[in-house]
Amino acid sequence: MAANGNSKKVVLVSTDKAFAQDTRSAFAASDAIELVTVEKNVAELRGEIQEADCGAVIIDMDAARLEEIEALQRITRRLEGRAPIVVVTQAFNAAAVRILVQLKVADFLVKPLTTADLVRSCIRAVQGPGREDNTESQIYTFIPAAGGVGTTTLTLQTAFELQNSVTRGASTCVVDLNFQQGSCAEYLDLEPRFDITEIENQPERLDRQLLDVMLSKHPSGLCVLAAPAKPSEMRSFNTDLVVRMLDLVSAYFDNVVIDMPRTWFPWTETVLLGSNKLYIVSEMTVPCLRHTQRLVQAIYETVGKEVKPNVIVNRFDQRAFENGVRGSDLTEILGENFVGGVSNNYKLVRQAVDRGVPLHEIDPNANVVKDLKKIILPEETIAASRKSRSLFSLPGFLRKAS
């Protein structure tokens, strides 16, 4: 097919002649994409993708074969993010998913698949989800060290801070992975609309259109993906369901903020590996801090050094109590994993939860809001501090209270 000036070149790597022919037929009617086929196994490639100067790559491979995974790793390193990669695998397994998440491929599909799904995935990868080229979704994951430490409150406020951020402000979605007892939607007085039973046995059915139906939307523009809580159904879900859901959400939102359950599930490791920032929420009690230490160690043992667990101590109090934990003790106890404390402001948090509004709507200058922003958006906090110390050097219309 002849390329036009606005088309994007996509390279298909496959030795499956029937699949390659179906893919060529599927893209033949598109003026937006010029498909180039390389009939080689991914392990046999010797620079063909780099030389093609393409806008995206489709790699048909067996993710269970070590040599093909190693070849995919080499390709991702050489491309350095210049072109998104869509992987088509022969079979699904959790180990392969973890590797693909680590390599940050744009999407992965499992045979047999419809060409319509492949076309949608490829166009989404080429065009991007309404973001600047080569800008990846940022995933922030919050996991509690114990019950009742305020993880959901910090998760939601972080989402609002990211959405309104000067440097990172853009589309933001909260994903509540606490399927049994999640309360993200309820904290914002929203109806949880994610019907897991509709896609549980066919995760591939979850596409952009169905996702949009299942999102709960806050008046601020923040989106929440949450299922109705079912405390009597303490069961896990297949890793492929969770991965498919997060993969799709990441494709359409600039920021994804995840509220994790305290229980460790088979998919937990995969979610942690796919996170850009991982926060453990703790509090200033000896039992909770001890469990926090154990959780940090468990994460390092499970996922290695791929993701650093950052500990936020909620309901933080600098005052020293007799025979209790002092603020000065936290660095000694938690080491470099301790990234900051969030002040104890029970009255404000309770009022926000009861009204179903974010904390800053009640008091934008509250200590809780400021403390969390210092942790999540330190660069903006520093910039704001510099402005406040040099007001006379700024134009009058910029002299606003922080």
CATH at residue 36: 3.40.50.2300
> Does residue 1 form part of some domain?
no
> Does residue 168 form part of some domain?
yes
Q: Strand 85-89 vs strand 277-283: parallel, antiparallel, or unpaired?
A: unpaired
DSSP 363: -
State whether 290 and 337 are in the same domain: yes
Q: What is the DSSP string of 289-356?
A: HHHHHHHHHHHHHHHTTSSPEEEEEEEE--S--TTS--GGGHHHHHGGGEEEEEE--HHHHHHHHHHT
Q: What are phi and psi of 250, to 5 degrees?
A: -65, -30
State whether 86 and 186 are in the same domain: no
State whether 118 and 147 are in the same domain: no
Task: HSE, CB side, 13 Å, CA atoms: give it for residue 90.
Answer: 11
Cα separation, 293 vs 311, whole angstroms: 10
> Does residue 94 form part of some domain?
yes
- The enclosing H or E element of 21 equals helix 17-27
What residues form DSSP beta bridges with 85?
57
Number of domains present in the structure of the chain? 2
* Domain boundary, last residue among 97, 127, 157: 127
186 neighbors 152 (Cβ within 8 angstroms): no
State whether 151 and 77 are in the same domain: no
Give the residue numbers spanning the domain of 251. Answer: 138-398
CB neighbours of 363 closer than 8 A, spacing ≥ 6?
348, 369
State whether 78 and 144 are in the same domain: no
State whether 248 and 324 are in the same domain: yes
Smallest CA-to-CA distance from 8 within 34, 26, 38, 36 is with 34
> Does residue 2 form part of some domain?
no
> Does residue 3 form part of some domain?
no
Residue 350 is predicted with a pLDDT of: 94
Residue 47 is predicted with a pLDDT of: 79
DSSP 136: P
State whether 106 and 241 are in the same domain: no
Residue 305 is predicted with a pLDDT of: 78
> Does residue 221 form part of some domain?
yes
State whether 105 and 164 are in the same domain: no
> Does residue 242 form part of some domain?
yes
Helices (H), 164-206: 184-187
Residue 113 is predicted with a pLDDT of: 78
> Does residue 18 form part of some domain?
yes
Residue 383 is predicted with a pLDDT of: 57
Residue with tokens 């399927």: 179
Helices (H), 28-175: 48-52, 66-79, 94-103, 115-127, 151-163
Classified as helix, coil or strand, 57 is: strand
Q: What are phi and psi of 293, to 5 degrees?
A: -60, -45
State whether 343 and 274 are in the same domain: yes
Q: What is the DSSP string of 214-261?
A: H-EE-TTS-EEE-PPP-TT------HHHHHHHHHHHHHH-SEEEEE--
State whether 369 and 332 are in the same domain: yes
Which positions of the chain have pLDDT values less than 50?
A: 1-5, 129-134, 387-402
State whether 69 and 182 are in the same domain: no
Residue 133 is predicted with a pLDDT of: 41
Residue 320 is predicted with a pLDDT of: 52
Cα separation, 165 vs 275, whole angstroms: 19
Its pTM stands at 0.65
CATH number of the domain to which 269 belongs: 3.40.50.300
Cα separation, 37 vs 208, whole angstroms: 27
State whether 203 and 352 are in the same domain: yes
* Domain boundary, last residue among 127, 147, 170: 127
Residue 137 is predicted with a pLDDT of: 80
CB neighbours of 288 closer than 8 A, spacing ≥ 6?
145, 146, 149, 282
Q: What are phi and psi of 225, to 5 degrees?
A: -105, 105
Cα separation values, 142 from 48, 145, 248, Å: 41, 10, 19
* Domain boundary, last residue among 72, 106, 127: 127
Cα radius of gyration (the chain)? 23
